[in-house]
Amino acid sequence: MTDIEQRNIERVKHWEHTWNTKVDRMVDECYAPNCEVINMMTGYTMHGREELRAIEHAMLKFDGTRRMEITKMVASGDTVAIEADAIWGDTRSKACVFLTFNDDGLIISDHSYGSDPSGASSQPKPEKAGARSASAR
């Protein structure tokens, strides 16, 4: 394993810990400001920390006891593939995530495959001020 791959494995452990305990720290300490996060099951895409933070807060509002337990990690270059159990209340489900890191050890790409019982990452994003939908044009 290369030094970069070992660093990324350690960063994933920190990501897991902060996802379980302090989501704002997770967003600020683990993700690059220009990150892209995609729920690969729904196609819902978030750009940047603030869009990710909003989803994380919505998920916590749905279930403040949610947890993740990583069961396997495979590092290759700048990417770590992760298998995990997601625990929402009494329900345990399987998930897979591919995290890609930049040179600073921050996540620039997060492709998550798993259920979101809160529904937060399957809702349409609010339009930005001044934006119009295609149907309104």
CATH at residue 41: 3.10.450.50
What span, in angstroms and rounded, lies between the C-alpha atoms of 9 and 134? 42
Contact criterion met (CB below 8 Å) for 69 and 88: no
Burial 96-133 (b: 16+ CB within 10 A, else e): ebbbbbeeebbbbbbbbebbbebebbeeeeeeeeeeee
Residue 122 in any domain: the answer is no
pLDDT above 60 for 135: no
Helix (H) or strand (E) holding 117: none
Residue 45 in any domain: the answer is yes
Task: Give φ, ψ of 93 to 5 degrees.
Answer: -130, 160
Helix (H) or strand (E) holding 62: helix 49-62
Residue 133 in any domain: the answer is no
Residue 13 in any domain: the answer is yes
| pLDDT for res 62 | 86
Contact criterion met (CB below 8 Å) for 92 and 86: yes
pLDDT above 90 for 99: yes
pLDDT digits (tens, 9 = 90+) for 42-85: 899 999 999 999 999 998 898 888 899 999 999 999 999 999 99
Residue 124 in any domain: the answer is no
HSE-up (13 A, CA, CB side) for residue 34: 2
Task: Give φ, ψ of 136 to 5 degrees.
Answer: -90, -10
**Cα 117 → chain centroid:** 15
Domain of residue 46, residue span:
3-114
Structural domain total, the chain: 1
Residue 60 in any domain: the answer is yes
pLDDT digits (tens, 9 = 90+) for 100-131: 999 999 999 999 998 776 666 665 554 444 44
Whole-model pTM: value is: 0.85
Beta strands in 12-90 (DSSP E): 31-39, 45-47, 67-76, 79-88
The residue-averaged pLDDT of 27-51 equals 95
Residue 119 in any domain: the answer is no
Residue 33 in any domain: the answer is yes
